[in-house]
Copies of this chain bind each other. A is one copy, B any other.
Amino acid sequence: MINVIFLGFGNVNNHLFDALHKSTEITIKQVFNRNYIKMISPFEDIPFTDDVSKIKEADIYIIGIPDDAISSFSSSLPFQNRLVVHTSGGVSMDALSNKNRRGIFYPLQTFSKQREIDFKNIPICIEAENSKDLELLQSLGEKISENVVEISSEKRAKLHLAAVFVNNFTNHLYHIGSEILKVDDLPFDLLKPLILETASKIENLSPEKAQTGPAKRSDLKTIEKHLHLLGNSRYRKLYELFTEEIKQNYGKKL
C-alpha cells in the first residue's frame, strides 16, 4: 500500500486523484489546498486541510500548483526528509526545496476540468534523487499507467517544449480553423473528422510521411489563392511561415 497526500488541487492533481483513488493499492491520506475544497461523494471520507501545519505523514507528497509557486511552497512545508514530487513538465527537480527528498511525477497529457482521462496509455515521466524513491514512483505510476518512464529534468524540459508545439499550438490552429469558418457561417463540426484523422494517422505513419497539402506539393496557385482569401487577416503570417517551412522541409528531399 502506498500512502499519498495531494498538495494543491488544480487540474493535474484533480485528475491524478481520480485515477489513483480507483487503485486498491493506494491510500489517499489527505488533500491539502490553500483554499477550502469540499470533498464530495464518493470522496467525503478523505481528509482535507487548508493548513500547512496540519499536513499528515505519507509515503509520497504530490505538489500540483502553478509552476511559479512550486519552489517557495516546497520550502514552506513543515517537515523534512520525505518524498516530495511535483507534476509540472516545465519545472526542474531542483526547484523543489532540498530539505525533503525530491522527485518528479509528470503525466504527459492535457487536462481540462470537463474531460475524464484514461491514464492507461499516458506516459508518466518520473525522476528522483535516489533509486529507492525512483522505484516507489515507478510503482505508483504503474498503478494507473502502462507507460512509466524515467526522464531527467533536462530531457523533460525538451519534452515539455515539444508538447507545447503538438498540443497548445495545434489547438490554436483548431481555433483559427473555427474562426475562418465562422465568417461564412460554416459549422466547425465539418472539420472534426479531419482533425481526428490527422491525429490518428501518425499512430502508424511518421508526421513526415503523413504530410500532405499545397505547401508540400509547392502548389503555388493554391497558396496564392489562400493568401488572397486571407487578405490582411492576422492569420496570414502563420500561413506564410508554415508554408515556407514545409516547402523547405520537403523541397530539400526531392
Contacts and interface: CB of A to CB of B under 8 A. Distances in A.
B211 A200 contact: no
Contacts of A67: 219, 221-222
A22 interface: no
Chain A contact surface mostly = helix
Contact of A158 (B122, B183, B192, B249): B183
B168 A170 contact: no
A132 to B, nearest CB: 25
A99 interface: no
A225 B164 contact: no
A210 B210 CA distance: 25
Contact of A174 (B149, B166, B175, B238): B166
A223 to B, nearest CB: 9
Contact of A213 (B167, B207, B226, B242): B167
How many A residues are at the interface, by size bracket?
35 or more
A246 B176 CA distance: 11
A200 B91 CA distance: 27
A191 B166 contact: yes
Contacts of A121: 193
A126 to B, nearest CB: 13
Interface stretch (A75-83, A105-113, A136-144): A105-113
A221 B68 contact: yes
A162 B175 contact: no
B229 A238 contact: no
A181 B158 contact: yes
A1 interface: no
A186 interface: yes
A117 interface: yes
Given A155-B186, A161-B226, A171-B212, 5 more contacts: A162-B180, A166-B195, A167-B213, A170-B170, A172-B207
Interface of A: 67-68, 90, 108-112, 114-115, 117, 121-123, 147, 149, 151, 154-155, 157-178, 180-181, 183-184, 186, 188, 190-216, 219, 221-222, 225-226, 229-230, 234-235, 237-239, 241-242, 245-246, 249
